[in-house]
Amino acid sequence: MRLRRVSDATVAGRALAVTDIAYKIVDAAEWRAAVAEGRYDGAPVDLADGYIHMSTQDQLAETARRHFAGRQELLLLYVDLTRLGDDVVWEPSRGGALFPHLYAPLPVSAVAATRTLNVTDEGEMQVGDPA
């Protein structure tokens, strides 16, 4: 199921519908290794669950607070869902909200942009410069 919104976002000079972009928070060292391989297989929780967890813009702050509070040296990946085809499945999670799940490795080429990210102990996101 693909959800569509009227508003647009611009990432890497390309206008995309907001729901064409999902976000993935990753450890910077894990992402560097993924770039060398050309693909990201997922964090330990992704590997255990059998899919790569991603969030929409509306879900991102809660994801950071719940799962990354107090973490530094993270990256925020802007994932272009239009490059992933049918491997993205929208499934209910917290409170019935639909989350984008990727049932395949994430090709580095599907990441439209990256930004540095730290999450405070209180769970507040501090998005930094492009990485």
Q: Which CATH number fits domain 20-130: 3.20.170.20, 3.20.20.70, 2.60.120.10, 3.40.50.2300?
A: 3.20.170.20
Note the pTM of the prediction, 2 decimals: 0.84
- Interior CA angle at 72 toward 44 and 20, to 5°? 65
- pLDDT tens digits, 23-40: 999 999 999 999 999 999
Contacts of residue 98, Cβ cutoff 8 Å, sequence gap at least 6: 1, 3, 90, 91, 92
- pLDDT tens digits, 73-104: 999 999 999 999 999 998 888 678 889 999 99
How many Å apart are CA 23 and CA 79, to the nearest integer? 6
How many Å apart are CA 93 and CA 102, to the nearest integer? 14
